[in-house]
A and B are shown apart, each in its own frame.
Chain A
Amino acid sequence: MSDPSGEMRELAKKLLENGEVDRIIGWEKGNLWYQSPPLFITRAEETDRLVFDDFAINSLVTYLLDERDSGKKTGIFVKGCDSRGLVRILQDKQIARESVYVIGLPCSGKKDPRQALSSGASESSQVPPAAKCEECLYPNPVIYDVIIGEAVEAKAKGDRFAAVKEIEAKTADEKYAYWTSQYSKCLRCLACRNVCPACNCRECAFDISKPRILAKENNLSHNMVYHLTRAFHAAGRCVECGECERVCPMGIPIMQLNKKIIKEINDLFGPYEAGVKLDETPPPLGTYQTSDPEEFM
């Protein structure tokens, strides 16, 4: 893949100069070679800092929520997975389509900074592709105003529900033991929620203190309720960007639950992919069919 940084900078500069957007969100090079954190710029002369390298893994679309009431127009770079998150936010009517100028970037997979560090690599070529990119179905943006670079072909992948099936095959007590060992690690830092494009409520249930819906005491029971509630809230709305699992410092396999939900929704209510088409019907749990499976008679 050729480096699109030059074109990105040029376009960003033009957009800022002619006042088409108030700010640009992209990525810049961090202090360490394996970091390409988010960058916010408002002045044309800063556009030279923009990069799009192996570590531009962060989705930037949740940042749009911070300015949802400002009336500002944002130019934003999106990869395939990020664009589905953007569709999610637009479908949920959190921002207006006119308030974003979307610059699409086809993506052949990114690398995870934490993996770069733990693998002891000293340069990008030694770092394996990020886990979340291994099962990518949409390497090309599904929504954009302009696209930079050639479309990328989705690599033929294995079964995206393989990990889910592995868990399904366990006995009830084995499943419970597995999930409790994972959820007991949870620090409740809420990073998975904050990074999630489907978690775009103005006020999250977990932030409400009167009445307190989730106790602040960190124990297994509350941690499980936190994760199940969040997964269920995102049911049918999760765009599989995998950011939740990537940001989790404790390595909780959050996507294994989200994927299970996607799998069951497909089986029960017909195939569905969230955040792919902007003008589609409501997500599966926001609608119904009289012909849905009947098990409660």
Chain B
Amino acid sequence: MSVKSSDAQEAWEPKILAFCCNWCSYAGADLAGLNRTQQPPNVRIIRVPCSGRVDPQFIMRAFQDGVDGVLVAGCHPGDCHYSTGNFFARRRFLLFQRIFDYIGIDPGRLQNRWISGAEGDKFAATVSKVTEDIRALGPNRKLRDEHE
């Protein structure tokens, strides 16, 4: 898939992709829903087994295909279902954000948060915050795979 270069931008709404780990953040999202917590509808969730599963290529593909921001959410350090997956993820994304910055893409477009299964409110608040941040940054065209 790729993005049509002439896509109308007038009624732009941030399009955000969230990778949520199955054991914590996805459960957190679920809890936010159960509690009927208000949150913006701009985030689409992909459930992954662990934040350590998220390959930087997934993130780049998302930007290629037209998202304006990406959120990677996982268990708090020390709480990983697989013991250490999020520690590896932490190193990976600390570095990857800095690479994004280096090539000229605002690092705010790639956010990472630790959200446990009990933190429904934190999930909703994170989604609101990320959406606000991305809205402030405006539509992203960098890295996009466009076609006529």
Contacts and interface: CB of A to CB of B under 8 A. Distances in A.
**Touching in the complex, A and B, CB below 8 A?**
yes
Interface of A: 167-168, 170, 172-179, 205, 213, 215, 219, 221-222, 224-225, 228-229, 231-232, 235, 257, 260-261, 264-265, 268-269, 284-285, 288-290, 292-297
A79 B125 CA distance: 55
26 contacts: A167-B102, A168-B102, A170-B104, A172-B105, A174-B104, A205-B57, A219-B145, A221-B146, A224-B60, A225-B57, A228-B56, A232-B96, A232-B99, A260-B99, A261-B99, A264-B95, A268-B91, A268-B95, A269-B91, A288-B87, A288-B88, A290-B77, A290-B87, A292-B87, A294-B77, A295-B94
A176 B104 contact: yes
Contacts of B105: 172, 176
Nearest to B98: A264
A225 to B, nearest CB: 5
B113 interface: yes
B102 A257 contact: yes
Contacts of A260: 98-99, 102
A190 B84 CA distance: 34
A293 B64 contact: no
A284 B60 CA distance: 22
Contacts of A225: 57, 60-61, 64, 143
- Majority secondary structure of chain B interface residues (helix, strand, loop or mixed): helix
B92 interface: yes
Contacts of B106: 172
Contacts of A229: 56-57, 60
Interface residues of B, number: 35
Contact of B103 (A179, A213, A219): A179
A184 B93 CA distance: 26
A290 B99 contact: no
Contacts of B123: none
A190 B64 CA distance: 21
Interface of B: 2, 56-57, 60-61, 64, 76-78, 84, 87-88, 90-96, 98-99, 101-106, 112-114, 142-146
Contacts of B76: 297
B98 to A, nearest CB: 5
A227 to B, nearest CB: 9
Which of A170, A225, A269, A289 neighbours the largest number of chain B CB atoms within 10 Å of its CB? A225
A290 B79 CA distance: 12
Contacts of A289: 87
Query: Which of A215, A260, A269, A296 has the most chain B CB within a 10 Å cutoff?
Result: A296
A147 B58 CA distance: 46
B144 A221 contact: yes
A179 B143 CA distance: 11
A168 B114 CA distance: 28
A216 to B, nearest CB: 13
The residue among B94, B96, B143, B146 with the most chain A CB atoms within 10 A of its own CB is B94
B112 A265 contact: no
Nearest to A227: B103
Contacts of B77: 290, 294
A182 to B, nearest CB: 10
A230 to B, nearest CB: 11
A235 B95 contact: yes
A285 B92 contact: yes
A296 B92 contact: no
